[in-house]
Structure 1
């Protein structure tokens, strides 16, 4: 693992401490397979569920959800660590006695981490302290994009329309759950009860009857003590991918895509974890979505406005509801969306004319041209 003068060294981080650990591993497999080895030197580093940085035991290019297996970064005796030396980010290997050796400088980081402690600004802050360029949103945008409550506040401030929702803070539920229930009952079922700071549909429950509500909150609180409750919107689920502009250009949006969850008899009441990752027949993406031209244009513009409202850099996937009346609601944005070759973000860009490997290259170029620190 030595630095070269001709190719940027890309530290590819994956795994992590969130419930989306396995999704991150599969994302890394796709990216590492597609990364242009003639242009970049990949340095894959896994993060275990306990937070240890490691040289992967298993080749991360082999990670998959096939056979219902969930890949995992395994711990090792030797840990890896980023340090700053002479103004440069350097990767070090440390044995159990604290003795270390230099594995070389890193030019840019590709943090393929989903959820808390990877996508929420914590890792981004560490990379800023090390002066290391990285792909994706900065500290504030990552934090706001991870927290569905503050994300919606930013959207509303920018004039975007969001659906009715309520937030349940940990102290509120623990002190007076009955008061929480009364406030939530101002919403109309069906409801979607979610961890406020989560993704990949982990911990989400659809509530069709109030008798299901307490159990739904309990499930969400297994992943986050803060819970958000969204009123169901009768509309088509439309997604749009956004990428930042090189050379100071404005961000641009892909064609709109529509998620179609298989038939009424499907086991999936909504686009849940299994429909996204493990049940290949459960859902499909239609891109470009069959929408009126003016509606598609409006959604693409709102996706870019949402990107700008949060102050996102690099990439973002925004999710919308398009109603029969023509109303458009922005539901949420994801600042590090699933990035496997079959994930919606790269699929939408592929349909728009930007294939997977070129998309990865453009994101790395965006990171390399962007300074760290205040900007």
Structure 2
């Protein structure tokens, strides 16, 4: 209570989810977990959904509405979910404004911090972060640059390799190269050896990814990836690798210093009919996947995973949180595959599970992200 016997004001958090990318439904599922975990005695929660067309709406504060339903039905934010919301774009404004048909626009109130749960382009890639920076609105997670370069597998690998981190063999098919010189593209891919993994450069959740075992399957795989992104990354398949992941959290101490901590690593073991950790295995066929938390690694390998995760986090200038994905080869070598600045965040996702194994429960994890965001300034830092 304050000096007048009133309860202290709760910081207002706008939970933003959905979005224009192909990961729209996964973002909704992430929001379902977060909305269910937020301590309503500590936070004043405003759910804001973004439709596939980019319209921001005042969404239902109902975790069940945004979960992936039994049978695999995917959630979606639509314009009918609520009135349109306008976000502040001036540094001296904080109010969300609600627009309703035949009514005067009304201020919903000031927002103290945004939790941006959008995955993929138009959200996780620095675009939303740039919008919030324009309005000097605090938000959780990485800033514009780290979000943008981490989203782009081509640029991220270039930066990680430049920082001396180990990455596997790969090549990028830049926009227009496949259309103008497919033979050169086929030659460069062939030099990697087979199998290869063909991926959209700026997508996630394994959407648009193909495993190709020889030249006969390459064209179809590239065409599939190009449906999601004009830039394609092709990675050499490394035989016998184990998929290992590590969570990173950044906190701000009372003295203003930033401290980075890591979770115990986890391991993804894919079975059934899946050749790799594809979209169906991640979200629709959980019985075929084992998420081992902590990963069955020896102490020395565990320590190396955590050290490399911190190095990758710092190399891209990440903030708040990240999940670093690595490959462990048969001879004990660790290769950085990618860094996710807004990893899957449902209670069953690897990131929260790794932290739970490390002693940080889901509600505490969400709270720490928001506390870090409130303690961090906007703008250059």
Q: Equivalent residue of 1:244, what SS?
A: strand
- In the other structure, the counterpart of 1:24 is 27
Q: Equivalent residue of 2:323, what SS?
A: strand
- In the other structure, the counterpart of 1:272 is 278
- Per-residue CA shift, 1:272-318, capped at 9, x if unaligned? 11111111201111122111211110110000100000000001001
Shift in Å, 1:59: 3.2
Cα–Cα, structure 1 residues 368 and 189, in superposed 2: closer, same or farther, change >3 Å?
same
Contact 1:138 1:312 in 2 (8 A): yes
- In the other structure, the counterpart of 1:108 is 113
Distance 1:98 1:173 in 2: 51
Deviates more, 1:290-299 or 1:77-86: 77-86
Contact 1:57 1:74 in 2 (8 A): no
Alignment match of 1:144 (pick from 144, 149, 157): 149
- In the other structure, the counterpart of 2:197 is 192
Q: Equivalent residue of 1:14, what SS?
A: strand
Please report the TM-score for the alignment, with normalisation by the length of structure 2: 0.94
Q: Equivalent residue of 1:307, what SS?
A: helix
Distance 2:53 2:76 in 1: 11
Distance 1:98 1:170 in 2: 46
Cα–Cα, structure 1 residues 288 and 79, in superposed 2: closer, same or farther, change >3 Å?
same
- In the other structure, the counterpart of 1:9 is 12
- In the other structure, the counterpart of 1:71 is 75
Cα–Cα, structure 1 residues 188 and 73, in superposed 2: closer, same or farther, change >3 Å?
same
Deviates more, 1:253-262 or 1:117-126: 253-262
- In the other structure, the counterpart of 1:258 is 267
Please report the TM-score for the alignment, with normalisation by the length of structure 1: 0.95
- In the other structure, the counterpart of 1:324 is 330
Contact 1:22 1:72 in 2 (8 A): yes
Contact 2:35 2:62 in 1 (8 A): no
Cα–Cα, structure 1 residues 245 and 85, in superposed 2: closer, same or farther, change >3 Å?
closer
Shift in Å, 1:251: 1.0
Cα–Cα, structure 1 residues 239 and 85, in superposed 2: closer, same or farther, change >3 Å?
closer
Identify unmatched segments of 5+ residues in structure 2.
Answer: 1-6
- In the other structure, the counterpart of 1:210 is 215
Question: Are 1:36 and 2:39 counterparts?
Answer: yes
Q: Equivalent residue of 1:241, what SS?
A: strand
Distance 1:307 1:16 in 2: 25
- Residues 1-375 of structure 1: pairs in structure 2 closer than 5 A: 6-56=9-59, 59-65=62-68, 66-76=70-80, 78-84=83-89, 87-96=92-101, 99-234=104-239, 235-247=241-253, 248-262=257-271, 266-375=272-381
Contact 1:35 1:357 in 2 (8 A): yes
Shift in Å, 1:182: 1.2
Q: Equivalent residue of 2:259, what SS?
A: coil
Distance 2:17 2:342 in 1: 12
Shift in Å, 1:60: 4.3
Q: How large is the RMSD of aligned CA atoms in angstroms?
A: 1.5
Contact 2:47 2:61 in 1 (8 A): no
Distance 1:78 1:11 in 2: 15
Contact 1:56 1:74 in 2 (8 A): no
Distance 2:238 2:297 in 1: 18
Distance 1:228 1:98 in 2: 49
Shift in Å, 1:171: 1.4
Q: Equivalent residue of 2:264, what SS?
A: strand
Q: Equivalent residue of 1:67, what SS?
A: coil
Shift in Å, 1:72: 0.3
